[in-house]
Chain A
Amino acid sequence: MTALLEMRSIGKTFPGVKALDQVNLSVEAGEIHAICGENGAGKSTLMKVLSGVYPAGSYEGDIHYDGALASFRSIRDSEAKGIIIIHQELALVPLLSIAENMFLGNEVARRGVISWPEAWARTTDLLAKVGLKETPQTPVGKLGVGKQQLIEIAKALAKEVRLLILDEPTAALQENDSAKLLDLMLELKAQGVTQIIISHKLNEIRRVADRVTVIRDGSTVSTMTQDEITEDRIIRDMVGRDMENRYPARTPNIGEVLMEVKDWSVTHPEQARQVIQGAAFTVRRGEIVGIAGLMGSGRTELAMSLFGRSYGRNITGEVTLKGQPADLSTVSAAIRAGLAYVTEDRKVLGLILPEPIAKNVTLANLKGVADRGVLSHGREAQVAEGYRKAMRIRTPSVFQQVGNLSGGNQQKVVLSKWLFTGPDVLILDEPTRGIDVGAKYEIYNIMNDLAAQGRGVVMISSEMPELLGMCDRICVMNEGRIIGELSRNEASQETIMAMILRDGVLRDGATSGERVA
């Protein structure tokens, strides 16, 4: 076997962040090569370097492709050589038809006039190759995510692909759609298409990959062949330390009930269905409460509807904070009542990226640095500086643009912003998503400090190990309801999953029973 692609000593620096440092990757012709790494480890950046999104000259190191030194200046250059990348976010135009999407930028045309019969015929052929029977005129938006993913692959085949890169292709797919996609990958491999798959899912990697390269904190850690692949080894390489001390130790000091939610129900903003049904939970002083559940179980919806009715309509239920009925009717009322909500998507919902740290920190409590509506820039800078030190936000000054910070530091800015509102209860929605391991540990430490200060912390997370490692108590959600609670001792991945599965069975039974009646 010969190497189709060799990336040697690749480095890439963004303002304030070294995203890649000495990455080496060698992909042999005809293999499926998996790349593993935590969020923010640099996998996507590496692929952007490879595909010319970051043009030659903007990174360090060499790329050898097909026996020659490659210097791609744009995606067009890399596509011309048969390197095609399918991004995590699909790049299809939902209102255009399958055929139109298939040849977008590459139209079947003579002197600018599109030949539709030919385009449709070729689309049908390509769809057959990926196992789809859709008519070429169908608007892409009408298809499910799984089929859209297959169309992306068909689109790559239309371009005579030699090296196909799939960036977390199954992240948004159901089990059977994922299986279909993986089968297709193996089929393409048999036809001689070299592939790179970026994935977190170890069972998938074991199923399709010939070799695995693990990247951590912007550098390659190891490359292993199929017979060397074990889950433990991949995790150890990804994380860089043993699993045991991923969570800082803490002795909980739990006091009286701080917040109590009773019979909380929320209707979807557009549809008639109830997204949250009669949810109830409590948070005590000094306690970290986890909310576990599958995608779509309503965790974020519950949090956002509590926080100033920022989600949904027809919201009913009761909330008490420190024994008093709380007014959570608007965001500012919720903040006044002592609630803070750290959003899941910090870039879109949490921060103003082009603004400096100082201005982001004070945004939710501008009155705290103002007298009768007039801001004191001095006090603002002092407040921000205080949080910079307390949270160890790594930045030369608090006047640095937030957009230039790394994910972990951005998250610390968001946390600072909410701490400055002086909350009793903080709801943290996926607080460590997209953050590297070291910074995760720091965020955990901050959470422990918050609890030690006597605040209540609610942690929503999709990563079960994180919930198990951090929480005193875990509420399990399924289909808009809190179906049970597990103490730290009772909780394990198995008990949580069992609870969710049993609930699904019960409900199916109940609904079929109703149907019979």
Chain B
Amino acid sequence: MSEEKGIRAHLGGHLRENGMLLALLAIVAFFTILLQLREQPVNFLQPVNIANIFLQNGHVIILALGMLLVIVAGHIDLSVGSVAALTGAVAAWLIVTLGWPVWAAVPATLLVGAAIGAAQGYWVAYWRIPSFIVTLAGMLVFRGATMWMLSGQNIGPFPREFQFMANGYLPDITGIGKPHGLTLILSVAAILTLCWLGLRARARDAGFGISPEPMGLFITRMAVVALAIGFVGWQLASFRGFPVVMLLLVVLTVIYAFFTENTVAGRRIYALGGNEKATKLSGIRTERMVFLCFVNMGVLASLAGMLITARLNSATPKAGVGFELDAIASVFIGGAAMAGGSGTIVGVVIGALIMGVMNMGMSMMNLGIDFQQMIKGLVLLAAVWFDIYSKQKRG
């Protein structure tokens, strides 16, 4: 009885985090069932689809990671789509036109992204021009610059190693081949690591007298996550293995999750988003933190730009249109607050996956782009409403 009450109280307190995960699973289940019920049943969870969710949405997740930091700091970046297009064009110019090797062109492009981010961050941080204005200007400027650089044409094709970044799969170093041994090893390693981290966090919480999540709930949640990872891993292994993009995403997610939760710099960004004046009076150079958030966003935007350029195998003037909205929507679906100071990396990744799964599901159901947009808009509204509703219930 008391156990049950504990679970309910805990679920109430952590409605958001668990709710996000459940929403993602529910949406996946929804499309799986709907597509099975069609006259010609389609398996939504077939391996190629799972791989494609990551291949086709990698750029959104990458942009959303940077966007979270910008939004946590209390700002917004509307220019990321244009920056992605411009840096894609820069990469194309370096590699295709000038013939630079890929290993030199990729870091050079990331540096260009950092410079663009610095240019925008400078105005936001040190002149206190609202980021909405600065990045709206940036959105126009960098889109124009892309068109100018490409003279309205596409540049391509790219050498294979550049495309590998976006389309490639990890080689199976175990030599099993089918199923893909390395993928299985990585999946098992991921499950074990998550369980270990979860248990360690519980032990730590108990040590400091935080009432821990009820054991039953913890095991259920871990089981669901392990099953999901195991299933995805198995499906990928029986297809072509582990996509390079996915590895990149996992590594970046881990790095950013660690950065936001466990580093001094990460904490400072949350503090400044929560109360800039108090943070400043605590001896933290808030301007510099804002500036660095934008530099980081520029770097990630250029990475996303290179990814889409590599996937399409050409740089185009229209690349990246609307990316900023996908990234911003993912961050808010993922539970960040418009006012800054809150939001988690895991939430944002789940938010981006919800968007990605919905894109794919709706496309497979042959829903037109018109309905897709309307539904995505309503999902964003619903997610944020749920956020505010659950906060009100608690307050």
Contact = CB atoms under 8 A, between A and B. Distances in A.
Interface of A: 15, 307-308, 310, 330-332, 334-335, 341, 343, 348-355, 359, 363-364, 366-367, 370, 373-375, 377-378, 381-382, 385, 397-399, 417, 421
B283 A399 contact: no
Interface string B273-304: 01101111111110000000000000000000
B127 interface: no
Interface stretch (B84-92, B190-198, B207-215, B241-249): B207-215
Given A355-B271, A385-B208, A375 B281 contact: no
Contacts of B209: 385, 397
B203 to A, nearest CB: 10
A332 B287 CA distance: 14
Nearest to A414: B278
Contacts of A375: 261-264, 267
30 contacts: A15-B395, A307-B281, A308-B283, A310-B281, A330-B283, A330-B285, A331-B280, A331-B283, A332-B285, A335-B283, A343-B278, A349-B277, A349-B278, A349-B281, A352-B278, A352-B279, A355-B270, A355-B271, A355-B274, A363-B267, A363-B278, A366-B267, A366-B268, A370-B264, A373-B264, A374-B262, A375-B263, A381-B208, A382-B208, A397-B210
Given A377-B204, A378-B208, A352 B275 contact: yes
A364 B208 CA distance: 22
Interface string B36-51: 0000000000000000
A-B residue pairs, 7 tightest by C-beta: A332-B283, A352-B274, A364-B282, A331-B283, A381-B208, A352-B275, A366-B264
A397 B209 CA distance: 8
A352 B282 CA distance: 11
Contacts of A331: 280-284
A351 B275 contact: yes
Interface residues of B, number: 28
A354 B342 contact: yes
Contacts of B274: 352-355
B210 A399 contact: yes
Residue of A15, A331, A332, A363 with most partner-chain B CB within 10 A: A363
A453 B271 CA distance: 31
B341 interface: yes
A354 B285 contact: no
Nearest to B275: A352
A426 to B, nearest CB: 14
A353 B282 CA distance: 15
Contacts of B280: 310, 331
Interface of B: 204, 207-210, 261-265, 267-268, 270-271, 274-275, 277-285, 341-342, 395
A374 B263 contact: yes
A417 B281 CA distance: 12
Nearest to B270: A355
Contacts of A377: 204, 262
Residue of A310, A352, A354, A359 with most partner-chain B CB within 10 A: A352
A341 B277 CA distance: 13
B360 to A, nearest CB: 36
B284 A378 contact: no
Contacts of A330: 283, 285
Contacts of A307: 281
B16 to A, nearest CB: 14
Contacts of A378: 204, 207-208
A343 B281 contact: yes
Contact of A364 (B204, B261, B265, B283): B283
A334 B281 CA distance: 10
A428 to B, nearest CB: 14
B395 A353 contact: no
A349 B280 CA distance: 9
Residue of B204, B271, B282, B284 with most partner-chain A CB within 10 A: B282
A134 B242 CA distance: 76
A225 to B, nearest CB: 41
A307 B283 CA distance: 10
Nearest to A334: B283
Contacts of B262: 374-375, 377
B272 to A, nearest CB: 9
Contacts of A370: 263-264
Contacts of A367: 264
A348 B284 contact: no
A373 B265 contact: yes
Contacts of A355: 270-271, 274, 341
B278 A351 contact: yes
Contacts of B271: 352, 355, 359, 363
Contacts of A308: 283
B263 A363 contact: no
Nearest to A355: B274
B271 to A, nearest CB: 6
Contacts of B264: 366-367, 370, 373-375
A359 B279 CA distance: 12
Contacts of B283: 308, 330-332, 334-335, 364, 421
A407 to B, nearest CB: 16
A74 B263 CA distance: 45
Nearest to A417: B282
B341 A352 contact: yes
B281 A341 contact: yes
Contacts of B210: 397, 399
Contacts of A351: 275, 278
Contacts of B285: 330, 332
Given A359-B267, A366-B267, A375-B262, A353 B275 contact: yes
A353 B342 CA distance: 12
Nearest to B201: A377
A417 B342 CA distance: 21
B215 to A, nearest CB: 20
B112 to A, nearest CB: 27
Given A332-B283, A363-B279, A385-B209, 9 more contacts: A330-B283, A330-B285, A331-B284, A348-B275, A351-B278, A353-B274, A364-B282, A397-B210, A417-B282
Contacts of A348: 275, 277-278
B23 to A, nearest CB: 23
A354 B271 CA distance: 10
A359 B262 CA distance: 12
B289 to A, nearest CB: 12
A266 B261 CA distance: 40
A45 to B, nearest CB: 16
A15 B392 CA distance: 13
Nearest to A363: B282
Nearest to A421: B283
